[in-house]
Structure 1
Amino acid sequence: MHGTRGEAIRLGLSEAIDAVVGVASVEDAVLLVRDRLGLDHVTFMTAAYARPVDSPFIRSTYPSQWIARYVLRGYLHVDPVVRAGFGSTGPFAWHDLEWDERQREFMADALAHGLGDKGYCIPVVDRAFRRSLLSLNTGMAADIWASFLARNVAGLEKVARLIHDKAMRELSPDGPAEPTLAPRQVECLLWTARGKEAKAIAVILDLSEFTVRSYLRTARQKLECRTLSQAVAKAIQRGLINP
């Protein structure tokens, strides 16, 4: 059984390498890699172009509630994976890092919010010394995961490089203008980031549930996101909402 699962992951990686080239955005790329490899989550982060550490370029499949919590609690300054990722030039597994008490508390909080207990990160540094980090998260069996990593480091590094190059194009000065959200769309995204469902948001804002869902759908479309979680993440990253 383990061999079958490992082979499926290997084939998924081969497909992912080909598919990442053709997708339209970094957001599409992280979703594709997650789904093709059967991972829990995939996150890409870059601090290119001297963006402030509190507002890096991030695309992630993490749940919107966790992303909002991560921002509100200042976990970017605690997260040992981010610290190691932007200070390293080679891939590493999460369990290879040394964790202090505060960082162990951070990880316990992450696990409680649906993250897998294993991770692997691939830093990228390009010729212009722009840095990024691709982080893979999973809860799959340790032996399957270890076997996959042992055989596919080069492929994963290629995926990370492809996504990095795509991000650099998105960050170019000639990229698309920031989307404009209506006040109600912003409010609905804000309450979603705070963990509220559409029905609860409707009560809070004195709107119908249908109207709330319509606002959220339009906001997601304006932000060019497939999922509401991605829309919340992008809105936080771009400063459109502050949970």
Structure 2
Amino acid sequence: MIDFSLIEEFVYLIEQTQNLKSLTDLFGSIIRQFGFDKHTCLSSVDLNHPPANSILIYEFPEIWVNRYKEKEYFKHDLVLKSIYREAKPLKWLDLEEMDDINQKIFYEAQQFGIRNGMTIPLMMPGHYPCTINIAGEFVDVDPRAYSSLHLLAVHYFNQLLLLGQSDFAPPALTPRQKECLYWAAQGKSDSDIAEILAIRARTVNYHIEKVREKFDVRTRSQSIALAISCGLLLP
């Protein structure tokens, strides 16, 4: 059951905040009421080479954050790979089979009090796709808590944007770049797109690579996610 009075109080309090520390402290205090004591709010970018205006809030132990980035676990993290497939909150306890690298990630995280949690994907036009990760040691969390945490995270994220922590100006894409990216988002290969648009496959790749460079991301999938988030591409 969602405690709307708690959410209403949280919204009122965060609207009074004037700085990032006060806001993150408030969110930290509210999630502790649900059995969690750590969180991050991260743009979906290369964490070792983040573009300007990324949101990078780490309320996890610093040693773990440094290890996670140093070993580039974000490139393998099953949570991050799974979260945008369905675009809905993911409870970590619902994760099924994990490969060796993800078993290692979760095992190492437990050494820092990160045993259970949930990840909430958030997308807002004009901003990088983002995840809020709420974590703690306790596994026996009331299942009803997750719905409340989802709503709280959405309000937290909105207030972050209002405080001006991220203001991403989407790049201008040419009509051909949009066409190529649209068909790529539909799962078409470069060869398929080339046939549809009556151009060469390497020309398709050229246009999509230009989009990737404009967004300053590493992969085609990230380009597509950003273009949708910015309203440059319809899902």
TM norm structure 2: 0.57
When residues 129 and 170 of structure 1 are mapped into structure 2, their CA distance, relative to the original with a 3 A threshold, is closer
- Between Structure 1 and Structure 2, which shows a larger proportion of helix residues? 1
Instruction: Tell me which amino acid in the other structure corresponds to 1:80.
Output: L
In the alignment, which residue of structure 2 is the partner of 1:32?
A: 26
Q: Matched residues in 1 for 2:158 and 2:79: separation?
A: 21
In the alignment, which residue of structure 2 is the partner of 1:106?
A: 105
Contact 1:26 1:166 survives alignment (8 Å): no
In the alignment, which residue of structure 2 is the partner of 1:42?
A: 39
Alignment of 1:189-208 (within 5 A): none
Contact 1:120 1:137 survives alignment (8 Å): yes
Q: Which runs of 5+ in 1 are unaligned?
A: 1-5, 175-243
Q: Matched residues in 1 for 2:132 and 2:168: separation?
A: 23
1:142 partner SS = coil
When residues 143 and 10 of structure 1 are mapped into structure 2, their CA distance, relative to the original with a 3 A threshold, is farther
When residues 132 and 25 of structure 1 are mapped into structure 2, their CA distance, relative to the original with a 3 A threshold, is farther
Q: 1:18 aligns with which of 2, 8, 12?
A: 12
Q: Matched residues in 2 for 1:53 and 1:87: separation?
A: 21
User: CA-to-partner distance for each residue in 1:124-165, whole Å, 9 max, x for gaps?
Assistant: 112336311111112335242x12124x26623532542452
Q: 1:171 aligns with which of 166, 170, 173?
A: 166
Q: 1:162 aligns with which of 137, 140, 158?
A: 158
Instruction: Tell me which amino acid in the other structure corresponds to 1:170.
Output: Q
User: CA-to-partner distance for each residue in 1:93-123, whole Å, 9 max, x for gaps?
Assistant: 11223322210111000001222x2111211
In the alignment, which residue of structure 1 is the partner of 2:70?
A: 72
Q: Which runs of 5+ in 2 are unaligned?
A: 170-235
Q: Matched residues in 2 for 1:162 and 1:94: separation?
A: 24
User: CA-to-partner distance for each residue in 1:27-80, whole Å, 9 max, x for gaps?
Assistant: 543332121221220110114xxx545334310211111111111111111222
Q: Matched residues in 2 for 1:138 and 1:173: separation?
A: 31
In the alignment, which residue of structure 2 is the partner of 1:132?
A: 130
Contact 1:86 1:132 survives alignment (8 Å): no
Q: Percent identity?
A: 15
1:123 partner SS = strand
Contact 2:39 2:60 survives alignment (8 Å): yes
Contact 2:113 2:136 survives alignment (8 Å): no
1:170 partner SS = coil
Q: How many residues align?
A: 161
When residues 129 and 59 of structure 1 are mapped into structure 2, their CA distance, relative to the original with a 3 A threshold, is closer
Q: Matched residues in 2 for 1:130 and 1:92: separation?
A: 19
TM norm structure 1: 0.55
**Which structure has the bigger radius of gyration?**
2
Q: Matched residues in 1 for 2:49 and 2:83: separation?
A: 16
Q: Matched residues in 2 for 1:18 and 1:52: separation?
A: 34
Contact 2:38 2:135 survives alignment (8 Å): yes
- Say what the alpha-carbon RMSD is for the aligned residues: 3.1
In the alignment, which residue of structure 1 is the partner of 2:226?
A: none
When residues 63 and 97 of structure 1 are mapped into structure 2, their CA distance, relative to the original with a 3 A threshold, is same
